[in-house]
A and B are shown apart, each in its own frame.
Chain A
Amino acid sequence: MSRVLYTAANPPARSAWEAINPMRMIGELSETRYWMYLLLLPSALLITAVVLYPTLYGIQLSFREMRLNRPALGTDWVLFKHYARMLADPIFWTALRNTAVWVTSSIALEFTVGLIAALALNRNLPGTKVLAVLILVPYFLPNVVAGHMWALMLDPRLGVINDLLVKTGLLTGYKAWFADPSTAMAAAIIVEAWHSFPFFTLLIMAGLKGIPTDLYKAADIDGAGPFAQLRLITLPMLKTIIAAAVILRVIGLVNSPDLLLILTNGGPGRATQVLSLYAFQTAYKDFNFGYAGALSVVMFILLMGFAWAYIRLSKVNQD
């Protein structure tokens, strides 16, 4: 009896079912270089549908006339009309300046408090697990809830904060924090920092767990104190995490007007008007989607520029 030797050049004959068996076909496809593209296809389609298409649509909108309550104006291309208007629009410049203050102050405060909280919780002292949960609670609150809660706490009539400050002698009378342009932005920044500092705490804590303890032991032997260890070991080792957290928070702060919408609605006057809120109001109060699109494109460019510059300056990708 002769034996048949099956090789790649001489495969065994397939039955009709084997030829169309989808599992076999998938198995064979997984061995090819097209498999990677096939796996990426669903997410690529999803991103195209929910991110890329709206982004491109928004960009083209910024070059068109699009006022929903003025259909007679049509939707013709207007090229850079909206961008030219922006340059002469004092509210845009006020909003840009306020956005810079809002974002940098909030990030600085959130990072500082978040770092301190993470370092404290990382010491594994008794009760830190409970404290870690409590510290994260503000972050789990929706912006709307946090906004209304603080609006009541800072209320000039019924607010507990005013009451405490007056009773402790720090204030002589109840203060209308959000009605005074000199305190409205600061009060909103404090609310924002309270709400979002746990984001930094969470990420920094995760990063701290990954730093080898040997480094600290060696630093101890070399006589490095706590601040030297923080400066020379902890912060450099957390560089990538901090960079990612800062970029994510900056994107969130620039894009989300909800907290300011609840606390101040951009007022008093234009004291807390920021770009995202201005774009929102332009689109949904004035129904001028063309100009709102242009404002959004400017925000997009600013964010891209910031992310690029920040990554370069922090030298994250050089490690």
Chain B
Amino acid sequence: MTTNFSRRSVLKLGGGLLAASALLPQHAFAQAKAINYWHTFTSQSEQAGLDAVLALFKAAHPDIAVTPENIPNPEFMAKVTAAVVSGSRPSVTMVASERFKDLLAMGALIDMTDRVAKWERRKDFDDKRFESISADGKVYGVPSFAFVDWMYYRKDWFDEAGIAVPTTLAEMRDAAVKLTNPSKGRYGYGLRGGPGGQNIIINIMEAFGSPVLHADGKIGLDREKAIQAIDFYAGLLTKDHAVPPSAANDGYRQIVEGFQTGQTAMIYHHTGSYQDIASKLKPGVEFGTMAIPAGPATRVARLAYAYNTITKQEDADTAWQWIKFWGEPDAAVAFLEKTGYFPASTVAAQDKRIVGNPMYKAAADTLGFGIPQPSFPGAAGWAESSVLPNFQRVLIGQATPEQAVDEMITALAEATN
């Protein structure tokens, strides 16, 4: 038997197949909702924490596929800026509080006020948690976890030397000097003078009485107090020689490795590095945690939040499911157990797995007096492009504290005017 195809019948068949193939994928996509999530998790512990939350989310929402995409922290703003300008935004973006104002100003964030207001877990979060992600009465994100500033110290060294845990910056300096022994390759303090160190420098200046963002909203440094702060902090290297000589280039990896390998007695970071430290040193035996010491003017410990924000309107409904899931106590505690990052939810923070662990006491105390990172358009750029390099110039002897602070003040004026 032979079958004859006319040109018309072939065209009809082709057209039918084309129409069917065009319909099939749309049908498939309608079943599985997909979003992508830009984040800055890089360490193994952070990745493990994200995996834990993803696994819980998948069990709760099998119809939603989340594709996490890591954006290294130093490149984060460049990538997000390019995505916003080119219109290739991610569905959900993790936003650190100090970046909020810049991202808002460039139109990267979508108003979430109504969603947050109607959220059944909104009452689990203190109003303060939303301050750093709100502007003009509108809310642009939900806190997913907290960066609670604290310090790690070598408990065994402190015990051996009979030194009490410092509560002020002056005591911290004394302890650093006493614990320094270059012949043993030991230094009292692991100073982060390289990438990421700018926020600590700003904190020290504020602790000396020179906040960059004042209570009335004005922006500016108190020159004399800032000079005292820079003189004190850089002096740990230039005068006291109580920090490793590599301080001007030391970033996160270097300070954590220095502490883990027995080079330094104290480091300043946040709870997010807890699991990394605990993987090498015994908690409560070899190392302890302490609240950030108070400065001459005030105690400055940042209580910053990482926020999840909707950055693509088309995916907003699906994105909201993922964002609010981070507020579930099980997700928050699973993330804490893998990373050390504190829950942003007050309910989750009361979990017995947290309050029953003495190593978290310093962080729990800090929740009471911690303050948010100063945030204004240009803040992050000024901190990275001026505060850090000028502080480094003092560390390497190319500038005095006075010259460095004058440069910071000039750059701050340029960044904000």
Q: Chain A residues in contact with chain B, CB under 8 A? A: 68-71, 155-158, 176, 178-181, 184, 261, 264-271, 273, 280-287
Contacts and interface: CB of A to CB of B under 8 A. Distances in A.
- Chain B interface category by residue count: 35 or more
Nearest to A282: B385
Interface of B: 74, 77-78, 81, 85, 101-102, 105-107, 193-195, 244-250, 254, 257-258, 261, 263, 377-378, 380-382, 384-385, 388-390, 392-393, 395-396, 398-399, 415
Contact of B389 (A156, A176, A269, A284): A269
Nearest to B383: A285
Given A178-B249, A267-B194, A69 B102 contact: yes
Given A157-B257, A267-B194, A268-B248, A69 B101 contact: yes
Interface residue SS majority, chain B: helix
B378 A286 contact: yes
Given A157-B257, A267-B194, A269-B398, A286 B381 contact: yes
A266 B388 CA distance: 11
B200 to A, nearest CB: 16
Contacts, number: 109
A283 B74 CA distance: 13
Contacts of B399: 269
Nearest to B381: A286
B248 A155 contact: no
Contact of B396 (A179, A265, A285): A179
Contact of A176 (B85, B245, B381, B388): B245
10 contacts: A68-B102, A69-B102, A71-B105, A155-B254, A157-B246, A178-B249, A179-B250, A181-B396, A268-B248, A286-B415
A68 B415 CA distance: 12
Nearest to A266: B389
B99 to A, nearest CB: 10
Given A158-B257, A285-B385, A179 B247 contact: yes
Given A70-B105, A71-B105, A179-B247, A268 B396 contact: yes
Contacts of A184: 249
Nearest to A72: B105
Nearest to A156: B246
B133 to A, nearest CB: 16
A3 B256 CA distance: 97
Given A71-B105, A157-B254, A285 B261 contact: no
Contact of A270 (B78, B250, B389): B389
Given A70-B378, A156-B245, A286-B385, 10 more contacts: A68-B106, A69-B377, A157-B261, A178-B246, A179-B246, A179-B250, A180-B396, A267-B248, A268-B393, A269-B390
A241 B195 CA distance: 40
A284 B81 CA distance: 7
Most buried by B among A179, A271, A282, A283: A179
Contacts of A265: 74, 194-195
B78 A284 contact: yes
A158 B102 CA distance: 38
B246 A176 contact: yes
B87 to A, nearest CB: 14
Contacts of A283: 78, 81
A157 B249 CA distance: 12
